[in-house]
Amino acid sequence: MSEIVITKSPPLCGNIICSGSKNAALPILAATILTKGKNIIQNVPRLTDTENMLEILTALGGVCNININTVEVDFTDCREYSASYELMNTFRGSFFLAAPILSRMGRARISMPGGCPIGNRPIDLHLKGFAAMGAEIENGHGYVDLYCEKLKGAKIYLDFPSVGATENLIMAAVMAEGETIIENAAAEPEITDLANFLIKQGAKIHGAGSDTIKIFGVKCLEPVTYSVISDRIEAGTFMSAFAITGGHGKIENVNPVHLKPVTAKLREMGAYVDEHRNYINIDASKKLSSANIKTLPFPGFPTDMQAQFSALLCETEGSGIIVETVFENRFLHIGELNRMGANIRIDGRSSYIEGNKHLSGANVCAMDLRGGASLVLAGLCADGETRITGANHIKRGYENLCGKLRSIGANIFLE
Ligand code: EPZ
């Protein structure tokens, strides 16, 4: 099991480049199943999750060729409506396969999703939408079986603006019969990116990025070349790394519009952030003050940045409160931060974080992707050595994190 070893680092300084977005690449790669032909997807991050997705697409009959961060996926033939339980069960993104396989094959067998232990991760909103579009659904033995010869458009209201459910239902609707309206839809940039990919292929989608999305089913989609947006959470993690070490630098290949809540919070805490079309400059050399944060669906403060800010607030002037409203169990990193000398108290969905702590290096365990990132950030400013086990969680969502951080002065190595 690989470990990440970090020793206290100087203020980070320099230029760092973001990879493509994991959470945009996964649904877009799944959506290639909808096209009889070869799609070329660029700016795909090389991560465990994207590698697993490509393995599943191959098992379904897709012909995948990878050249660094460009992936060709040819689905002229789609032979299977399911892939191995082990493969599908390793990450949440596998459930994005449900709609494209069902739409293409008339049936789909998908394992109940795996992924981070940050909550029970139900799929009821996905299934409610599929049922509204005419699918028959069976649950059992850890699988969901979906059947429907031809999906029909429907009006669907999501009880929660679920990212995955919105993405699955868009993919179900693009070649369904008639019109589909998704209300209370999620508005994350990754959804707009999926929609833009499908629109480029000939889909008729209106309102992606808002809470109401209208899709008019078309007969077929054409294969295209498409470049995935950059990863806003990786960018936010790098901003936090500069901030927690009191450094300054430039983050390239980023869309500042996708980072507004994170940028606003860092500015409120006293950091200088300068936004440009595809890069951001940040200077956090001045001691930052604390802040209160409530995670919300986009455009609110992203839940995927909560753990990173939990670490950051340990080092700021004064105490802060973070309320996690999206997932019910996303504080797994708190115990590990306290092992490093933090003083964080949890009460339900709220965490109370004492500032001005001088963290000390310790042996800690990453239990989910972003929790692991928070431990990396803590290790950068902690006295002594921090050893993080469970680095496989981190490799699921960050491309070459250690190498990128080393390039701006971090003392961090993957063992
Ligand atoms: C996506 O997960 C992302 N993953 C997550 O990123 C991200 O945290 C999340 O969206 C929210 O932004 C991918 O895109 C692969 P949800 P997803 O459906 O789709 C409840 C990371 O670190 N819900 O928006 O699973 C659910 O329990 C990962 O990169 C239902 O109740 O998130 C949760 O409380 C972690 N029923 C809330 O909605 C459903 O059918 C948000 O979940 C579906 C979801």
Q: Which pLDDT score is estimated for 4?
A: 97
Across 30-59, average pLDDT = 96
77 Cβ below 6 A of ligand 1:
no
Q: Which pLDDT score is estimated for 120?
A: 78
Q: Which pLDDT score is estimated for 113?
A: 77
Residue 307 has pLDDT above 70, yes or no: yes
Rounded distance from Cα 303 to ligand 1 centre (Å): 9
Q: Known catalytic residue: 116?
A: yes
- CA within 13 Å, CB half, 184: 9
The minimum-distance atom of ligand 1 relative to the CA of 328 is 34
Residue 368 has pLDDT above 70, yes or no: yes
Q: Which of 18, 64, 78, 116 is catalytic?
A: 116
Q: Which pLDDT score is estimated for 137?
A: 97
Residues 16-44: pLDDT tens digits? Answer: 999 999 999 999 999 999 999 999 999 99
Residue 224 has pLDDT above 80, yes or no: yes
Q: pLDDT-based confidence at 112, cuts 50/70/90? A: confident
Instruction: Select from 19, 124, 163 the residue to mutate for testing ligand 1; criterion: most ligand atoms less than 8 Å from CB.
Output: 163
Residue 115 has pLDDT above 70, yes or no: no
Rounded distance from Cα 125 to ligand 1 centre (Å): 11
299 Cβ below 6 A of ligand 1:
no
Residues 375-403: pLDDT tens digits? Answer: 999 999 999 999 999 999 999 999 999 99
CATH number given to 4-19+230-414:
3.65.10.10
126 Cβ below 6 A of ligand 1:
yes
Residues 182-202: pLDDT tens digits? Answer: 999 999 999 999 999 999 999
Question: Sheet of 179-183: strands edge to edge?
Answer: 155-157, 179-183, 212-216, 204-206
Residue 404 has pLDDT above 80, yes or no: yes
Q: Which pLDDT score is estimated for 94?
A: 82
Rounded distance from Cα 164 to ligand 1 centre (Å): 6
> Which protein residue's CA is at the shortest distance from atom 4 of ligand 1?
23
Q: Which pLDDT score is estimated for 84?
A: 83
CB-based contact 59:88 (threshold 8 Å): no
Residues 128, 133, 136, CA angle at the centre, nearest 5°? 70
Task: List the single range of 83-92, 150-159, 405-414 with lowest mean pLDDT.
Answer: 83-92
> Which protein residue's CA is at the shortest distance from atom 3 of ligand 1?
23
Average predicted confidence (pLDDT) for the chain = 96
**Would you tell me the crossing angle of helices 369-381 and 332-339 to the nearest 10 degrees?**
20
Q: What are the C-alpha distances in Å from 119 to residues 113, 302, 310?
A: 12, 16, 18
**Rounded Cα–Cα distance for residues 143 and 125 (Å):** 16
DSSP states along 205-249: EE-BTBSEEEEE--S-----EEEPPB-HHHHHHHHHHHHHTT-EE
Residues 285-299: pLDDT tens digits? Answer: 999 999 999 999 999
Sign of CA dihedral 333, 335, 341, 344: positive
Boundaries of every domain in the chain? 4-19+230-414, 22-227
> Which protein residue's CA is at the shortest distance from atom 15 of ligand 1?
93
110 Cβ below 6 A of ligand 1:
no
122 Cβ below 6 A of ligand 1:
yes
Residue 114 has pLDDT above 70, yes or no: no
Q: Which pLDDT score is estimated for 305?
A: 98
The minimum-distance atom of ligand 1 relative to the CA of 233 is 29
Per CATH, domain 22-227 is 3.40.50.720: no
**Rounded Cα–Cα distance for residues 169 and 129 (Å):** 7
**Rounded Cα–Cα distance for residues 350 and 321 (Å):** 7
Instruction: Answer whether 4-19+230-414 and 22-227 agree in fold.
Output: yes
- Residue 72 φ/ψ, nearest 5 degrees: -100, 130
Q: pLDDT-based confidence at 162, cuts 50/70/90? A: very high
> Which protein residue's CA is at the shortest distance from atom 42 of ligand 1?
162
Across 216-227, average pLDDT = 98
The minimum-distance atom of ligand 1 relative to the CA of 370 is 22
Can you give the pTM of this predicted structure?
0.97
Q: Which pLDDT score is estimated for 274?
A: 98
Strands 320-323 and 344-347, bridge-based pairing: unpaired
**Rounded Cα–Cα distance for residues 90 and 95 (Å):** 11
Rounded distance from Cα 304 to ligand 1 centre (Å): 10
3-state DSSP assignment of residue 188? coil
Instruction: Work out the widest C-alpha separation in the chain, in whole angstroms.
Output: 62
Rounded distance from Cα 67 to ligand 1 centre (Å): 30
Q: Which residue has the higher pLDDT, 204 or 119?
A: 204
Residue 93 has pLDDT above 80, yes or no: no
Q: pLDDT-based confidence at 116, cuts 50/70/90? A: low
